Amino acid sequence: MGAMAPRPLVEVRDLQVSFVSREATVSAVNGVSFTVMPGEVLCIIGESGSGKTVTMRSLLRLHPPRRTVIRGHMRVGDHDILALSERAMNQVRGAVISMVFQEPMTALDPVYTIGDQIAETVIRHEGGSRRAAMARALELLNLVKVPSPERRLRAYPHELSGGLRQRAMIALALSCRPSLLLADEPTTALDATVQIQVLIMLRRLQEEFGMGVIFVTHDLGVAAQIADKVAVMYAGRIIEYGSVADVLLRPAHPYTLGLLSSTVHGQTRDAEIEAIPGSPPDLRALPPGCSFAPRCRFAVPPCTAAFPPTALAGLDHAASCLQIEAVRGAVPAHADA
């Protein structure tokens, strides 16, 4: 008998997330499915408002329960996320799933030192003495290459630069050796040089710890540097999924092609950037067909009748589009360079 195939670390099936108020119901995530294998990096890309962060926060059940309706299936390791009690979920947060937020200044507590915040997390999940927890905090600051870590251990968040705060946030997220790390645009507020340093560090730590990572970004360059697999989201749905090479070099959905065409990478100096026309749809009243159809130059009448089924565009590459061949024919020659 052959060896059994490894089990996915993360399984999400038909995830639907709605926010309900007296005025309207906003359908933020509409049937999202994906898997992440142990040690794999999945990058979710898309415009603001496409549902990337909502999907991530759903895995940690961080949405306000009174206003949020979540349906579907989410499993991380042996944990059925939607079936856990709040008490059990508190044990999962930090120990099994950790998150690096986009803006560490709002995620870190301003009235406690960096060392206190990391040590508190270690004691909360692993127990032990405060002395041992502070030693662990120092070890983590060394791990993420914070200069003068002994001094930074006693510093408050406002006393650190943006890059150092982000490194401290990553140290905090790694403090209990999670199986899954969620990173919500963790380099957006950083300058280009620091951004590259943080990305290289995250990839190194991911390989060292053997973690699965879900990385959210709207920057295709970031996705190219860090991802193994890419999921492209639009209007709360994953509309293309595949390896980073397939999705970024051989896009099969017109939205992905539009994202690639609206970047300066690979363009000649005098070329005009092809911005995607129009705006994303209103999530309070999604159209019955393809949500991207009103902005799509490849759209045909059947696109507006029903949401297109997912079709294979390669061995492990799929897109929800009726015009995959037309899109493939429009991919610029420099995309494969």
Q: How do residues 249-306 score in pLDDT, each as one tens digit?
A: 999 999 999 998 877 555 555 566 678 888 889 999 888 899 999 999 999 999 999 9
pLDDT computed for residue 262 by the predictor: 79
Whether domain 10-96+178-336 has CATH 3.40.50.300: the reply is yes
Asked which of 54-58, 104-108, 144-148 is least confident by mean pLDDT, the reply is: 104-108
pLDDT of residue 197 exceeding 90 = no
Which of 14-18, 191-195, 285-289 is most confident? 14-18
Ordered by start, the domain boundaries in the chain are: 10-96+178-336, 104-177
Confidence of residue 337 (pLDDT cuts 50, 70, 90): very low
pLDDT computed for residue 323 by the predictor: 94
pLDDT digits (tens, 9 = 90+) for 91-105: 999 999 999 987 777
pLDDT computed for residue 192 by the predictor: 78
pLDDT of residue 1 exceeding 60 = no
pTM of the model: 0.90
Quote the CA–CA distance of 132 and 203 in Å, as a whole number.
Answer: 27
Quote the CA–CA distance of 291 and 271 in Å, as a whole number.
Answer: 29
The predicted model gives 213-219 an average pLDDT of 91
pLDDT of residue 234 exceeding 60 = yes
Q: Where are the alpha helices (DSSP H) in the chain?
A: 52-59, 86-92, 104-107, 114-126, 130-143, 149-153, 162-174, 192-209, 220-226, 244-249, 254-261, 324-329
Is residue 259 within 8 A of residue 45, CB to CB? The reply is yes
Written as one string, the DSSP assignment of 5-18 is: PPPPSEEEEEEEEE
